[in-house]
Structures are given as structure tokens and as C-alpha cells.
Structure 1
């Protein structure tokens, strides 16, 4: 992996979705609320503060919502509970944005499956039962998986192989597949699946936590090209996905990719290269002792390439990142 900028264009993915209509939404639809699951997460709060200026916003999240805008309605409930259906029954929703995915790598497999898969299945049932016209699901480019045989840029039609080495991502892949199935089974609901690259910002996810380390480990002999995206550009992509007519799967990327070593340099932190075998065994021990929140399978993300072709989002959603790489890196310390 060199330091050269990208010169060749990635291959064009096969288009299986139609572009969104850019006409204004029907007045009755625009006056109906948007429901955000996981609204108390850092992305959820940012999305709510962006949307509530133009739309009625309702949120479901069992956590508390600090500094909630006064006109945002927050239901502190579990999406798996009967009360969630009551929200769908009482409110004639214009759209559902599903951000309520559990990413805790220390949670049990049963807890992950119950929250992520069973909870999402019920959400899909309510969307169908109460005729919700729009569903936006935030997935991740990680569903493709970092692999030595990956093409330089992965299109939306590529297989989802991220769970082969990292079992914790299998639930996210299942959620993604359930959303795809819903897309075909219920065409009257405009279903959008967004697969963003590594999100940087105040979010407490693996990429941001990794770059916050005072000394950042890398793998000796590996310097993969990586894509990152500022959290506010992800919020913008969600807002664009709410446009009338937008449907289908969209990879979402930020500024031009760069080598991992250069990304770390931009943080101003110290980098240390460690042989893979030593790094893996050390992290496994630290994980068992609860001295790290970085599971060993995540090492593949700093070993192999997993970059996406985001041309479809640029052409059909009009998504263009507005934050450069330096702004994205600075945002990891704004929490």
C-alpha cells in the first residue's frame, strides 16, 4: 500500500434501484412524524436535532435523552416490548429510521440476537401493519468484511462476508438481509439501507476508540488504505435517504481514502508497529482481563482493505461529504 492518491475510478456497480424523485413530499406526509430508534445514541441525537427543525420527530430508546429539544417526543421503551406497537398505532408515521443496533462486543450472543434481530423483526412487522411509507436502516460497510482478496472498491451487490471471521457482526448482516427481504416483499414501503465507511466523531465505536488511544498499534508489514467519514456526513446521508422515491442499498463514504499510517499521523498520536501474532495473542489476553474493548478479530480492519464504491449514493442521493479528513479526525476528540 503506497501513499499515492487514487487515480483510477472504481468499477461501476450494477444499478438495481431507481433514483429518488426530487419533488417535494406530499403535504400530509411531510406533516407526519419521523420515528428514530436509538435516538439517545450520539448519531441519533445529532439526527434528531437536525430533523426537528423541519419535521416532527419521535424517538424510541430505553436510555435517557440529555438536552432533548422540547418538541422532540422521546419514549423510553425497549423496541421489543408491546409499547412500541402502541407508538405505531397512535402515530401515523411518515418514516422510521432504525439506528437502534447493539454494538457492545461484550454482550452475549443471545442478547445481541434478541436485541438486534428479534427487535428489528418486530419493527418490520409494525412498519407493514401500520403502512409506514419509508424505512431507513443504518447498516455498515463492515458487513462486506476486511479480506485479502477484496477488490479495491466494493459495490453494493457484493456478498456480505464480514461475519466469517468476526461472529459479532453476524447480527448486523442478518439485520441488513432482513431489510433487503422487506424491500422486495413490501415494495409500497420505500426501504433504504445505508452502509457507511468507518464513522469518526463523538461516537463510541471501534474506529473512533482506536484513534483515541494514546499509543496506536498497527501491524508490522501492513498499511491498508482506509475510508472514514465524519459523523455529520452520515447524518446528512440519512436525511437524503428520507427523500421521496429514494430506495435501495447505498454505500456511503467520506473524503478520499488514505493509508492507515497517514490517518494515524493526522491524530498527532504515537504509532507502534507490532507483529500480527504477538498483537493477536496480546489483545486476546487483555480482552479476557477486560483491559481493552478492542476484540482480536477487529485486527483484520488494520490488516486488510475494505473500501466501498459510493458512486451510487453520489449519483442518486446527491450525497457529497462536506467534511474533509482533518475535520473527521478532529471530531474524535469532541465528546
Structure 2
């Protein structure tokens, strides 16, 4: 059930200034972005959840993107750009609800962008769309096939959102569309699968496997979205952090003790634990600690001069709030 419509107008701001609409603004990444961007842009946030700690000059619309009222935001304001982060990632929600929220919501949003003349659209996807696999080459470029759903059906709608944005890019060449595919996002307030896994004091590893891991700090991802608002970037970009290190080195930096589990045992055991709510990870997540899914971020570096500000040590330690 969606939250009631609630509208808060910014106080003391210039409501005539062209706005940047940010969907999914109430999440931890959205709040990080808003605090980075609100002093230079007029921001209108859309989210079903309330925005805790909202800067006073951020206009907030608590609503569901699938509802007709969302179009009012575009009809009543001059929107110069959209940053779309309103994607649901909850492994315990049904696939139907995921699909409706993510795919229908994105479709409606892109329709509004075309209808109301938005000049810039930034869609936050993920490097996870490529999928970890024993067949992956060392560094996947943006042209690599999106194969994650072949092993993990839970990411099917994330791939569909990415492809919707890609199709929109080709259908509307007059709109600068940017699709960002960052590597695993981590940070002190981030509650996604990689951050939650790295917070485990005694995490499972798969015996005989130690894949290279790419992490990026939540603040660097927010910076990447700000950079994407510039006029030059358009198209698909992998966004990487400070580099890549073996999983064992990440766990060593955190001082955590790995428990090696034989992979034929790990999947059925994790499946049982997930079903009975003794674990927060569905079995397909094990692919990320078994197989390689490293991406090449050179295109983003060349087009915007990208360099992650957080070091590898800072990025790793951010998951425990240090």
C-alpha cells in the first residue's frame, strides 16, 4: 500500500528556477545526494517514504511514481533534469511487486520526461546487471551482455529498467540520457547486500574461491550522479571506485573471520536459512563471492575525468562506520 500523498513546499527558495527531480530521494543514497546537490540546484524529491533530515530548501512529494499525481510534479514545474534512483531492492518482496514498482514506475517517469521536455535524464543502474559468472572476462565494458538474470531472477527487473533507459536514449536523441552502472555501493548507512555481508563478524566464504571485488563509497556514487548532470556525458557508463582487491583482503581489513563453506553445501543451506529468516541473503547472492564480475570504468574516466575521492581503505572501513 502506498504512502499518502504529502506535499511540502520549499521555504525561501525560488520556485521559478528550473528543477532537478530526484526519485528515491528518501533512501540513504538519495539523502547523501540531496545534501551534496541542494545548495546548487533546486531539488524536487519524489519517494513513497518520508525524507528524514530533509534540507529545508528541498521540495518533497511523498507519493508513488505509478500514481497519476506524480505527473503533476512535471506539469506544474519546469524540470530541467531527472535523477532516477526510485528502484526497489528487497529480496523478500514478491517478483510481481518488484516488477510493478520498478518497471511500471520507470516507464511512467520516462514518459513524463519526454512529454514535458526534460533535457537530462540520469538513471542509476548497477554493475550487477552483468552478473557474476565463471565465464566473465577480467574487466567487462559497457557493451557486455546483461546476463545476471540467467542465474538470479531477482535482478530481472533491474535489467529491464536499465534496458528501458537504454531504449529511451535511442528514441529521444534530443534528451541527454545517462545510465550509470556503479560497482558494489558501500557506506555507513547503506543496507544493501554487499554492505550487510561485510558487516558480518564471521562471514561465509566459498572454499577455494577468492574473487576480486570492486567497491565504491556512497559519497562517490552521489558525486557521480552530480557529474552526470553536466551537459557532456550521455550513454552508458560503468562507475568504479578506487580499484579492486581480493575478497580475503577486504575481510582482513575489517578484521572479520571468514568461515569457508564448500559450495555444494552452501547453496541449499543458505536457501533453508533464508526461508526461515535466519539469513538475509538469497542463495544466488553467493555468486558474488564465488565468481568474477569486475567492470572497466575507463569510459567514465575519459568523459568526465572521474577519480574516486575515497581510498580503498576508507571505502572498505565505511561499512562499519569508520
Identify the TM-score tier after normalising by the shorter chain.
over 0.9
Matched-pair contact (CA < 8 Å) for 2:227–2:304? yes
* TM superposition shift of 1:334: 2.8
Q: Distance in 2 between matches of 1:60 and 1:292?
A: 31
1:279-335 CA distances to partner (integer Å, 9 max, x unpaired)? 111110011101111010010000000000000000102211010111112211239
Q: Does structure 1 residue 78 correspond to structure 2 residue 60?
A: no
- Larger RCO, structures 1/2 (Cα 8 Å, 6+ apart): 1
Matched-pair contact (CA < 8 Å) for 2:133–2:293? yes
Q: Distance in 1 between matches of 2:272 and 2:137?
A: 33
Q: State the match for 2:117 in structure 1.
A: 131
Q: State the match for 1:97 in structure 2.
A: 83
Q: State the match for 1:333 in structure 2.
A: 320
Matched-pair contact (CA < 8 Å) for 2:271–2:283? yes
Q: Does structure 1 residue 249 correspond to structure 2 residue 232?
A: no
Q: Structure 1 unaligned runs (5+)?
A: 1-29
Aligned to 1:283, the other structure's residue is in SS state helix
Paired residues, what number?
A: 306
Q: Does structure 1 residue 66 correspond to structure 2 residue 52?
A: yes
Q: Does structure 1 residue 117 correspond to structure 2 residue 103?
A: yes
Q: Distance in 2 between matches of 1:188 and 1:31?
A: 22
Q: Structure 2 unaligned runs (5+)?
A: 1-15
Alignment of 1:15-26 (within 5 A): none
Q: Distance in 1 between matches of 2:103 and 2:76?
A: 24
* TM superposition shift of 1:32: 1.1
1:222 to 180, 191, 209: 209
Aligned to 2:45, the other structure's residue is in SS state strand
* RMSD value, Cα: 1.1
1:79-129 CA distances to partner (integer Å, 9 max, x unpaired)? 110110001101110100000100001110110110000110000110000
Q: State the match for 1:23 in structure 2.
A: none
Moved over 6 A (4+): none
Q: Distance in 1 between matches of 2:32 and 2:218?
A: 9
1:22-74 CA distances to partner (integer Å, 9 max, x unpaired)? xxxxxxxx941110000000000010111101010110001011111000011
1:54 to 18, 40, 43: 40
Aligned to 1:154, the other structure's residue is in SS state coil
Aligned to 1:96, the other structure's residue is in SS state strand
Q: Distance in 2 between matches of 1:85 and 1:122?
A: 9
Q: State the match for 1:279 in structure 2.
A: 266
Q: Does structure 1 residue 316 correspond to structure 2 residue 300?
A: no
Q: State the match for 2:21 in structure 1.
A: 35
Q: State the match for 2:221 in structure 1.
A: 234
Q: Does structure 1 residue 181 correspond to structure 2 residue 164?
A: no
Q: Distance in 1 between matches of 2:18 and 2:48?
A: 23
Aligned to 1:279, the other structure's residue is in SS state helix
Q: Does structure 1 residue 155 correspond to structure 2 residue 141?
A: yes
Q: Distance in 2 between matches of 1:174 and 1:167?
A: 12
TM-score normalized by the length of structure 1: 0.90
Aligned to 2:44, the other structure's residue is in SS state strand
Aligned to 1:191, the other structure's residue is in SS state strand
1:267-286 CA distances to partner (integer Å, 9 max, x unpaired)? 11111111011111111001
Q: Distance in 1 between matches of 2:86 and 2:253?
A: 31
Q: Distance in 1 between matches of 2:311 and 2:17?
A: 34
Matched-pair contact (CA < 8 Å) for 2:186–2:315? yes
Q: Distance in 1 between matches of 2:306 and 2:212?
A: 22
2:245 to 249, 258, 261: 258
